[in-house]
Structure 1
């Protein structure tokens, strides 16, 4: 059975890209090349909320992810959220992500509405959705990023 890990982080820095890199470092995936996919969980897969990724392979490897990401220049608030629900009996499932310059309650509502809509499109018997939201205040003169990622398996060589 394969594993998808849910990781998250927030960080502030003097540039937008530096804050994103620092948020990825908090999530433990700063040394990988992230490849975004849409939001389907394969059957026979375990989803674990771990916070910070373990060692997933050498620096520079490719990681397949579903990513919720938002960056703002301070002052302001930034939030990112990821929800997931799997069909029962180890069937496939869905992720749904939302992010923006808003509070965590708004993002959680958007994630829950989105995943419910995705469930309605499929003839699967789903488990109750789980949601992870990260939110942070950006101070004046800094950039702040919030990320929540679903990381599929381990890194793979990119070259």
Structure 2
């Protein structure tokens, strides 16, 4: 039985190989928008597909960030609509929500944004931050920093490993 995420990654890799050179960064950006692939995985897809590493990193990070920005803006509007209608934020506490809020109080927006990719896709972390009332521009700024750091860092490590193996 095949893994859907593996199939998706292989599909993006095949697509990068099949499209003209000018379109390849767009495919990498689209892959960067997919949770669990994100910037790190998309950059690898691009590099394996023959795209220059700098172009692959930029395309992957931009695709990831655009998706995160859309998630943040939509979540912000939904939160505003719900809190306006109810008059106050709902206080339903699930175990998962409590865990997130504990991490948020301990690390703040910067810490949750920078450490979040170790546990969750950036889209999920961004939505959780926004739903707790963190201003959208603050979430987007810290998610941009996290995406840039993680995508660049993982790509540099991968390139180093590729050079070692060669």
Give the TM-score normalised by the residue count of structure 1. 0.24
Relative to total residues, which structure has the larger helix share, 1 or 2?
2
**TM-score, normalised by the number of residues in structure 2:** 0.23
Between 1 and 2, higher relative CO (CA 8 Å, sep ≥ 6) is seen in 1
